[in-house]
Chains A and B, each alone.
Chain A
């Protein structure tokens, strides 16, 4: 009996080691499969976009075809403005919903409904959100505006932000909350200053994900923020933005405009990159304890 028991342990141990090795290989394959398109797409953008970058791109306004030069400076500023307006709408609302779902709602019917609504909102094509804001804001105002565009983009942000907040706050162990309450803090301070603040790194990831997505959205802006070949003259006026300008140039017949469109795409990715890094450095830096293992 001792013989077969040791054999059994030895054999099952070997099987587990084999499975371990196989999973390592599979995971490595997964990463390779993910890296290849990543490099391909990035490479394509860089190869197409970098040659067209020059100083004028960052400082000049769009020029008509046939005239050399011209840039997307107004589109760059416009995208920053739209992203900012969208964040003002999307981030507080998204975090509030996420907080509600994780701290207060847990199993109630309202929270199931709200969670469901957030998921539904995530799948509405961006163009329909744009049309919705068009009907809600642009038609009554009788004009296209940066506010309408920012609102449309902000609405698109909410599901990602709220879902991320909810899931990450749920991972916070309860004893942290209890410790805060035990110290005599009101519940809201516990939630905001301890739980939320502690998870601000990961939650920022969710926010950055949604900013990355909306920074590149074209369709909702076509009917809300429109576009503007001049510098923007007020939040209630049409405003230029990188994705719309890229789209307009990309579908044109002219090589020079195509090059500028690629440069625009490259700059867009760089812009999101920078927003990501800077925001993390300032708002979300947390110190992770060094781990031994």
Chain B
């Protein structure tokens, strides 16, 4: 089947390559152009609001569509906190699940359970929200939050009346929603590592866990971080489920029990009924703010990662 191609002369081989690489490059550039278009769209739509509100848009906590006063600080805070909480909960959990399913569980169970975890991604956001209101929030209100309040109540994070709905509920639901992403991609990454590496580690006397740490985790470190960033993206942009369990209160509060609001949820909540142009513009301004928040977080993460890799290489000596 492949012998035919050997007969091609040099020029034809090169032409195919040119076309192919050009096509790929165009699609890559196209993606950047697409993002630029979205950014311009947001910026143009948000301009009236930013113009009138000024710096107050990001520092003030007052969101008053009646008076056309818009301060988006609480939603920025809410988005960052809930997404951070989600990542903190979901990443170790997902990696742990992926490791368990690929390394420890028998192959058939690993495949079935892994498939089920993937299917979690198919459940519509609305359904997560309803589950959150009727199952998660009551459980938090009756069991978890009182317990946390009694034991860790001296910390500002666990103070205040337990409503059930609030930042903690939002963080947990987001964690559940991004677990399929991080764990499925991690599983595929782990499965792609040639077995010979694992066998080598065991051959020199590593325990099972050390084998996982040395071969599987180290090789897929970059991929796992990529999967986590993808999960973070999903968490930042999630609307329906979060808005149903976060309590929707425009306030900045240190406590995880307190209700809050996120950028995506406020856009989804108010867009359909927004009557004045300024309100619409303010909502899209929040969208722009989300854009910028993610920009910042992604850039910081990138610097941190590339710095971290270089550090790791220097510390471990020769190859990194």
Interface residues of A (CB under 8 A from B): 16-17, 19-20, 23-24, 26-31, 33-35, 37-38, 40-42, 44-45, 92-93, 96-97, 99-101, 103-105, 110-111, 113-114, 116-129, 131-132, 135-136, 155, 158-160, 162-164, 166-168, 170-173, 183-189, 191, 199, 202, 205-206, 208-209, 212-213, 215-219, 222, 242-243, 246-247, 250, 265, 268-269, 272-273, 276, 291, 293
Contact = CB atoms under 8 A, between A and B. Distances in A.
Q: Which of the four size classes fits the interface of chain B? A: 35 or more
A2 to B, nearest CB: 20
B148 interface: no
Interface string B166-180: 000000000010011
B80 to A, nearest CB: 12
Interface in B153-185: 176, 179-181, 183-185
Given A41-B131, A116-B302, A293-B195, A100 B28 contact: yes
Nearest to A199: B192
A37 B174 CA distance: 12
Contacts, number: 300
9 contacts: A17-B207, A30-B96, A96-B27, A121-B34, A163-B227, A188-B20, A209-B180, A217-B125, A219-B239
A116 B38 CA distance: 14
Contact of B116 (A42, A105, A293): A42
Contacts of A103: 24
Interface in B269-306: 271-272, 284, 287, 290-291, 294-295, 298, 302
B199 A212 contact: no
A123 B291 CA distance: 8
- 4 smallest CB-CB distances across A and B, nearest first, come from A30-B96, A122-B233, A123-B233, A216-B124
Contacts of A125: 236-239, 263-264, 267-268, 287, 290
A126 B234 CA distance: 9
